[in-house]
Structure 1
Amino acid sequence: MKALSIVLSALMLVSFNCQARDSLNSAEKLGELLFQDENLSLNKNQSCATCHSLQPTDSKIFPSRSVSGFVDPDNLKEGSAVSAGSIPNATGSLNTPSAGYAAFSPLFHWDKEEGLYVGGQFLNGRAKDLSAQAREPLLNPLEMAMPSESAVVDRIKEDERYNELFWEAYGIDVAKSRVDLVFNLATKAISEFEKTAVFNKFTSKYDYVLAGQTTLTAIEEKGLKLFNDVNKGNCAACHTSEPTRNESGELMLPLFTDFTYDNIGLPRNVRIPNNPKPDLGLGGRSDIAATDPEGNELGKFKVMTLRNIALTPPYGHNGVLDTLEQLVHFYNTRDTLGVAIDNNDPGFGKSGWPEPEIKQNMNREELGDLGLSNEEEMAIVAFLYTLTDDYQIWGGDKCVPPWSPAPFEISPLNRVVDILCPSDQTATD
């Protein structure tokens, strides 16, 4: 029966994926092809999907393999923190973030009211939006390593499929159009694909709970309470967990990030190839440094969404933390556990933590000494598992069978949703 259940779940997943693909418009279909095209890298061996895989994550936690974390599968398999580039032995110094739910990050900007930077793409926000984010890996020598926009467009022209797709999406003839126009529309198409339900499903157990279709277990409920407790876990201080209402009164689902930047005091990851110097994060950007002579942004990295976090190890901007349990333990005991030499120390995360790689601007108010017991740490981990998408496939929940639709209708541009659950509809009749 278990084998039959796995087969049926896999068939349902294929059906859902086909439906998602069929619903793509012409620009999104163009973006899907570009996203997976290895020909757009210098050695024709890397695409966006190489480091942000669309394939189900190979996870022991979710044996039906129904869910994609949109991260580098080699990192998951080998526990490596950084991804290989198109050129042999070329790697970056930062952990590859998930592309899931990236579409909802606002434009990079300074929030005058809060007095901090918000939004953007990449761990240091250097791309203001998704289109700008799609551009950089194509030309980055440590990633796809193409020498110029013209070189990328030449590769696009080699594939006849693009002639039709660019015409259908944007009404241009690739062969006769300016290089900058084709290149910019290509990155725009990739961003349009990243805004679709392929990356933004909102089908976690927590979403079905919000819709009133199922309930959390006792340990998951305990984890949620600790997650929100301002006197203990306080995770929600940065990883917002409650639905909100916009000015029109429509519901906005939580994305488990406030899109700000923070230095959580992570230790250096000495396992990164060539042991590069620590990245300076937001404050390491030349444009930010020029307006911040005191270095108030050094060491700060973007607060990433926790949706699908169970599928995206290793953790932290430098991938120094191996497991979700270790991540929660670090937040809880950073300042109290003791001292370890580095992350190769047998006592790492057990009897001590190494010194922070960048002490300046470290967050000392919201983490480091949370006072959680081991049981309470495990409760938070249990809750974090409920943020994994495709719950209807992997959850084995009678209240949410495999054929259940997503519990909400999502508008990818503004995160506005409509509740579809019967209880809500009854309340408004």
Structure 2
Amino acid sequence: MPPSFDREVARVEAEIDRIEADTLRQVEHNSLDRQAQVHMLGKLLLFDKHLSVHQNEACSFCHMPETGFTGPIQSLNQTTVSYPGSERTRFSNRKPQSYMYAPFAPVLHYNALQGDFIGGNFWDMRASGYRLQNPSAEQAQGPPTNPVEMGLPDSACVAFRLSRAPYRKLFETVWGKDSFTIQWPPDVEKVCATPAPPPANDEYPVHLSVADRARTDRVYDSFGLAISAYEFSPEVSPFTSKYDTVQAGKEQFTPQEKLGYELFRGKAKCNECHRDGGPGEEPLFTDFTASNLGVPKNPGLQYNYESAPDQRGYRANPDGPAYVDVGVGSFLRRLKSLSGQLNPDSGWILLAPKFDGKFQVPTLRNVDMRPSPDFVKAYMHNGYFKSLKEVVHFYNTRDVLPRCAAGDRGEKVTCWPVPEDSTNLNKRQLGDLKLTDQEEDAIVSFLKTLTDGHTVPKQRAAM
């Protein structure tokens, strides 16, 4: 681990505890309407570390507000990219995505005429939204039972922990007073303190009656839906960037920002995937499809070194450094993924080869949100890039600059390593954009206008 790891983890954990405590006080001392109740509940669920196997990791550990609800620990963004789970020696295989604007994604579907999957959540689209008709709610249900994330062995453990939460009453107010009328087995505490995965011969180790299992399933669905409602709220998806004030006619871009926006919509082809909407639309800067950009493998990804069994006998990555993340194709091949998300359509398995190497096109909103100008974020599914300048330079020169090995002098400036997976490579919208260095900088300048929380200067507001 980086030298500053323990200190940074302690800082994030303290901030999570503070946010949870402040939210609990708001619930206690304010009369809330129905919408506010659901939003507050969703927020509490995201900031409750007790919903993990060792009661030490909230969902928000990987998704903090000051970084646009993505990774808040700079030393990890620079090195391992993915974040440790509740079992601290386990890391996932991808960079944390942002929660912001995630609920706007449609239910995953295949457009045969377009030849594309559209919608869903997660880098590989596996939170399809089919069951709840809500991709972001199903995304929220993934981490609690993922062995390399929050690590609970059974989704019923979420209901058990919630039945003892200080905000249980709020949950019952929102979802029904009978939510936790469940007969828990005597060993439930022990079972829920045992990291996932569950034993191969005992998929649901919290042994419940059929009726009680159905009730815990409803609690788990309510958990996801409340989180999605909070992510939909103006606190997480506010549309308050400088870009929005410019579109509302309350401000103007600087000349560099204006040039960047023109390039974004024209020569640089960014707008072909990161759509900024049309008349009357709320621009989300994504088309909800997936693409293989040819991003190089990131040798710093901790997941590459999780090939040996850990102290509990679990092997996160049997392939070790040879592992290749094939993205959407991997999800489509399996009717059930590691963290429980289902491929809802067996016919999609036949489409998997066309989507190997592809990852979801993320929104660009808040792509530059950070607590300070020098804070380092990671970009793309594997966090290979560490700045927007690197990203734009890659789009511009991927197919122009010579190849080099990872760590070679000039990497990311005058040469690029080979793609991690060259299958289904996008050659239409990037690779040789013929942008000048100044034009690259202009695009970066425009991307920074997509950060929420912008305040219009008084002299300009009076225009």
> How far apart in 1 are the matches of 2:58 and 2:352?
39
1:361 maps to which of 424, 433, 438: 424
Amino acid at match of 2:46: F
> How far apart in 2 are the matches of 1:345 and 1:225?
34
Structure 2, unaligned runs of 5 or more:
1-18, 129-134, 183-214, 305-320, 335-342, 371-376
Q: Superposed, which structure 2 residues align to 1:51-90 within 5 Å?
A: 51-54=62-65, 56-57=66-67, 69-75=68-74, 78-80=77-79, 81-90=81-90
After TM superposition, give the deviation of residue 274 of structure 1 in Å.
4.9
> How far apart in 2 are the matches of 1:257 and 1:175?
39
1:186 maps to which of 215, 223, 232: 223
TM-score (ref. length: structure 2): 0.74
**2:173 — aligned with what?**
168
Q: The residue matched to 1:310 in structure 2 has which SS? A: coil
CA 260–135 in structure 1, closer or farther in 2 if over 3 Å, else same: same
> How far apart in 1 are the matches of 2:119 and 2:369?
23
Matched, 1:37 2:51: no
**2:7 — aligned with what?**
none
CA 145–222 in structure 1, closer or farther in 2 if over 3 Å, else same: same
> How far apart in 2 are the matches of 1:282 and 1:274?
18
1:265 maps to which of 286, 291, 294: 294
Q: Superposed, which structure 2 residues align to 1:373-392 within 5 Å?
A: 373-392=436-455
Amino acid at match of 1:283: G
CA 130–270 in structure 1, closer or farther in 2 if over 3 Å, else same: same
Matched, 1:25 2:60: no
> How far apart in 2 are the matches of 1:154 and 1:148?
10
**1:279 — aligned with what?**
325
Q: The residue matched to 1:375 in structure 2 has which SS? A: helix
> How far apart in 1 are the matches of 2:77 and 2:417?
23
Q: The residue matched to 1:106 in structure 2 has which SS? A: coil
> How far apart in 2 are the matches of 1:76 and 1:389?
24
Matched, 1:300 2:329: no
**2:396 — aligned with what?**
332
Amino acid at match of 2:364: L
**2:13 — aligned with what?**
none
Percent of aligned pairs with the same amino acid: 36
Matched, 1:203 2:249: no
Q: The residue matched to 1:216 in structure 2 has which SS? A: coil
Q: The residue matched to 1:27 in structure 2 has which SS? A: helix
**2:264 — aligned with what?**
227
4+ runs deviating over 6 angstroms: none
CA 127–218 in structure 1, closer or farther in 2 if over 3 Å, else same: same
> How far apart in 2 are the matches of 1:321 and 1:400?
36
After TM superposition, give the deviation of residue 152 of structure 1 in Å.
1.6
Q: The residue matched to 1:152 in structure 2 has which SS? A: helix
Matched, 1:371 2:400: no
**1:426 — aligned with what?**
none
Q: The residue matched to 1:382 in structure 2 has which SS? A: helix
> How far apart in 2 are the matches of 1:335 and 1:127?
33
Instruction: Judge conservation of contact 2:93–2:303 (CA < 8 Å) in 1.
Output: no
TM-score (ref. length: structure 1): 0.80
CA 39–236 in structure 1, closer or farther in 2 if over 3 Å, else same: same
After TM superposition, give the deviation of residue 29 of structure 1 in Å.
1.6
> How far apart in 1 are the matches of 2:264 and 2:431?
15
**1:60 — aligned with what?**
none
> How far apart in 2 are the matches of 1:220 and 1:271?
33
After TM superposition, give the deviation of residue 49 of structure 1 in Å.
1.0
**1:341 — aligned with what?**
405
**2:199 — aligned with what?**
none
After TM superposition, give the deviation of residue 213 of structure 1 in Å.
0.1
> How far apart in 2 are the matches of 1:145 and 1:291?
28
Instruction: Judge conservation of contact 1:166–1:173 (CA < 8 Å) in 2.
Output: no
Matched, 1:144 2:114: no
1:131-162, Cα deviation, whole Å (9 max, x unpaired) = 11111101000000011022121111112421
Amino acid at match of 2:386: D
Q: The residue matched to 2:141 in structure 1 has which SS? A: helix
Counting matched residue pairs gives 363
> How far apart in 2 are the matches of 1:397 and 1:228?
29
Instruction: Judge conservation of contact 2:275–2:284 (CA < 8 Å) in 1.
Output: yes
CA 39–113 in structure 1, closer or farther in 2 if over 3 Å, else same: same
> How far apart in 1 are the matches of 2:52 and 2:302?
22
Instruction: Judge conservation of contact 2:49–2:58 (CA < 8 Å) in 1.
Output: yes
After TM superposition, give the deviation of residue 399 of structure 1 in Å.
2.1
